[in-house]
């Protein structure tokens, strides 16, 4: 990345200080490709300072806050997020390139995470365990210490909301490293955390490159846990770096999630939901249903319905509020184009594509949504995560074939099953390897209350829902011998 001296320069938040660095990274507007600002290029020294600030907070003011008061602080932060929802939505929309309406939804979910986990902060109970005569044994959940959070660029508010709120609720101190392309909502969250009254060091944000600040955080011996959301390749690096210090990790990685459609499905609802799932955020959604597996006898009619919907999809600038905005950066645009070139080279039929608004700026990273038909289950387009608005349609003969194809990738994040036969739906829900299965619906982005995470190459550990709280705590067993 180039250095920039653009005056719209941001600072990061370490301890109680707003910190600048000599070197900076550019903030690029995906709608135009223009540099519109700069963020600090934090590295190992800044990560170390943030981890120290977190440890000092735990040994001091933050460690002394009881669970109910922690919850109140999170609820206060939720109120401030709601107050600034419009500002946050505009920041995120411009930074990621997503249509403003979609960013407004993200801002609402962001507040909701702090509400949900604020309410839960004093409700995580241990147990008493029947044991030998003359003993009382109990378990207690304690904070782990300083937790590291490395997040991607596609849903910054939602992803930092789910992991940061759960960790703070359990009494940990947080060091957050947002993605270098989209750090601005994290910096705004730091301002709000300061205003809400979190003690110094409880919440820290270090901006910077993945291979510098991110790697320094994952490998820091002073942290107790890493929550990583991003690609499987970087997830493996993060797990190895944390493993050298025996630090546990939660990995929320990619997906190639199947949408399975049988002849008895509610067809219109299925087609509308599947189209929305892959076009939302221009397909840059880890849980997007990016493969549609269609029972052979309705393949033609269902793909015709999907094709009509794809032709109606429109792409424009974020504030035009069409179906899709630009993708996040030039590398992502090129990655999607490589898969489309591969489809053409291999003779896969393009069944439909969306259209580009006439007046989009020439330097922006725009990609038209594409529906590709008759993709063999083993083809790279049916196996690899494209992370763009590209839906691949695959024919399946029957239930057994659908189950085989659904499980025939290395991923296991989410699945959708569309059928009126509930017994069949439940057989598939049990048989499909995934962290979440939706029957006759598909909750691609929502579901704050629903535990979420992957199997296989989609990662391990669970975030969202009450379950996440246990991942951000350490369980201690206390055995007391008091006699009878």
Q: For residues 71 and 156, which CB has a smaller minimum distance to ligand NAD in the complex? A: 156
Q: Which two tokens stand for residue 72?
A: 């109140």
**Contact flag: residue 39 with ligand NAD (CB under 6 A):** no
Instruction: Identify the residue among 9, 32, 231, 320 touching ligand NAD (CB under 6 A).
Output: 231
Instruction: Identify the residue among 13, 203, 366, 387 touching ligand NAD (CB under 6 A).
Output: 387
Whether 324 sits among the annotated catalytic residues: the reply is no
Nearest residue to 360 via CA among 411, 318, 309: 318
Q: For residues 177 and 188, which CB has a smaller minimum distance to ligand NAD in the complex? A: 177
Instruction: Identify the residue among 102, 207, 229, 281 touching ligand NAD (CB under 6 A).
Output: 229
Q: Could you give the CA distance from residue 57 to residue 15 in angstroms, rounded to a whole number?
A: 8
Q: Which two tokens stand for residue 300?
A: 């033609």
Paired with 142 in beta bridges are 474
Q: Is the dihedral of CA 190, 286, 97, 305 positive or negative?
A: negative
SS3 label, residue 415: strand
Distance in Å, CB of 380 to ligand NAD, minimum: 15
Query: Which region, judged by CB under 6 A, interacts with ligand NAD, from 34-42, 93-101, 104-112, 223-231?
Result: 223-231
Whether 252 sits among the annotated catalytic residues: the reply is yes
Q: What is the DSSP letter of 463?
A: B
CB atoms closer than 10 angstroms to residue 10: 17
Annotated catalytic residue: which of 92, 180, 212, 286? 286
Distance in Å, CB of 292 to ligand NAD, minimum: 18
Distance in Å, CB of 186 to ligand NAD, minimum: 10
Q: Could you give the CA distance from residue 401 to residue 396 in angstroms, rounded to a whole number?
A: 6
* Residue 36 host element (H or E): strand 35-40
Q: For residues 171 and 210, which CB has a smaller minimum distance to ligand NAD in the complex? A: 210
Query: Which region, judged by CB under 6 A, interacts with ligand NAD, from 152-160, 302-310, 343-351, 357-365?
Result: 152-160
Distance in Å, CB of 210 to ligand NAD, minimum: 2
**Contact flag: residue 151 with ligand NAD (CB under 6 A):** yes
437 to 466, contacts with ligand NAD by CB under 6 A?
A: 454, 459
Instruction: Identify the residue among 81, 166, 218, 324 touching ligand NAD (CB under 6 A).
Output: 218
Q: Which two tokens stand for residue 159?
A: 């992803």
Annotated catalytic residue: which of 180, 252, 295, 463? 252
Q: For residues 373 and 435, which CB has a smaller minimum distance to ligand NAD in the complex? A: 435
Strands lying side by side in the sheet with 249-252: 17-19, 12-14, 203-205, 173-177, 146-150, 225-229, 249-252, 459-460
Q: Could you give the CA distance from residue 263 to residue 296 in angstroms, rounded to a whole number?
A: 8
Q: With beta carbons less than 8 A apart as the criterion, state whether 117 and 196 touch.
A: no
Distance in Å, CB of 465 to ligand NAD, minimum: 13
**Contact flag: residue 23 with ligand NAD (CB under 6 A):** no
Q: With beta carbons less than 8 A apart as the criterion, state whether 356 and 377 touch.
A: no
CB atoms closer than 10 angstroms to residue 278: 31
Q: Could you give the CA distance from residue 307 to residue 301 in angstroms, rounded to a whole number?
A: 10
Nearest residue to 293 via CA among 270, 265, 262, 267: 262
Q: For residues 195 and 211, which CB has a smaller minimum distance to ligand NAD in the complex? A: 211
Tell me, by CB under 6 A, how many residues bind ligand NAD: 30
Distance in Å, CB of 155 to ligand NAD, minimum: 6
**Pure H helices in 250-298:** 267-279
| x/- letters, 172..211, toward ligand NAD (CB under 6 A) | -----x-xx-----------------------------xx
Q: For residues 49 and 218, which CB has a smaller minimum distance to ligand NAD in the complex? A: 218
Paired with 329 in beta bridges are none
Binding residues for ligand NAD, rule: CB under 6 A, are 150-154, 159, 177, 179-180, 210-211, 214-215, 218, 229-231, 234, 237-238, 252-255, 286, 385, 387, 413, 454, 459
């Amino acid at each position: 990345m180039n250095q920039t001296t653009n005056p719209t320069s941001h600072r990061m938040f370490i301890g109680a200080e707003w910190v600048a660095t000599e070197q900076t990274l550019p903030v690029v507007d995906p709608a135009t490709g223009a540099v519109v600002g700069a963020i600090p290029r934090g590295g190992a020294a800044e990560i170390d300072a943030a981890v120290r600030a977190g440890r000092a907070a735990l040994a001091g003011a933050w460690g002394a806050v009881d669970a109910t008061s922690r919850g109140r602080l999170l609820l206060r932060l939720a109120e401030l997020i709601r107050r600034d929802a419009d500002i946050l939505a505009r920041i995120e929309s411009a930074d990621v390139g997503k249509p403003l309406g979609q960013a407004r939804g993200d801002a609402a979910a962001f507040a909701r995470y702090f509400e949900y986990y604020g309410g839960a902060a004093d409700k995580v109970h241990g147990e008493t365990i029947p044991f030998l005569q003359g003993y009382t044994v109990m378990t207690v959940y304690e904070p782990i210490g300083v937790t590291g959070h490395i997040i991607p660029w596609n849903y910054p508010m939602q992803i930092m909301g789910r992991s940061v709120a759960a960790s703070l609720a359990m009494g940990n101190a947080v060091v957050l490293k947002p993605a270098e392309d989209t750090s601005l909502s994290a910096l705004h969250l730091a301002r709000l955390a300061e205003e809400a009254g979190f003690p110094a060091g409880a919440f820290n944000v270090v901006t910077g490159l993945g291979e510098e600040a991110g790697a320094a955080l994952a490998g820091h011996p002073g942290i107790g846990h890493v929550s990583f959301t991003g690609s499987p390749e970087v997830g493996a690096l993060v797990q190895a770096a944390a493993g050298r210090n025996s630090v546990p990790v939660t990995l929320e990685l990619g997906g190639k999630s199947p949408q399975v459609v049988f002849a008895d499905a509610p067809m219109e609802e299925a087609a509308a939901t599947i189209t929305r799932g892959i076009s939302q955020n221009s397909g840059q959604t880890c849980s997007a249903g990016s493969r549609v597996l269609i029972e052979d006898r309705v393949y033609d009619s269902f793909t015709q319905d999907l094709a009509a919907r794809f032709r109606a999809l429109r792409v424009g600038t974020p504030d035009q509020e069409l179906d899709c905005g630009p993708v996040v950066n030039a590398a992502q645009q090129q990655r999607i184009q490589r898969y489309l070139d591969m489809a053409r080279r291999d003779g896969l039929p393009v069944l439909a594509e969306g259209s580009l608004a006439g007046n989009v700026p020439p330097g922006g990273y725009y990609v038209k949504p594409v529906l590709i038909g008759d993709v063999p289950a083993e083809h790279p387009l049916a196996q690899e995560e494209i992370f763009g608005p590209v839906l691949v349609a695959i024919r399946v003969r029957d239930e057994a074939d659908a189950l085989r194809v659904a499980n025939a990738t290395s991923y296991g994040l989410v699945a959708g099953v569309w059928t009126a036969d509930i017994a069949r739906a439940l057989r598939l829900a049990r048989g499909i390897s995934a962290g979440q299965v939706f029957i006759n619906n598909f909750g691609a982005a929502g579901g704050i209350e629903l535990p979420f995470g992957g199997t296989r190459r989609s990662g391990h550990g669970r975030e969202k829902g009450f379950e996440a709280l246990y991942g951000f705590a350490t369980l201690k067993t206390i055995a007391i011998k008091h006699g009878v």
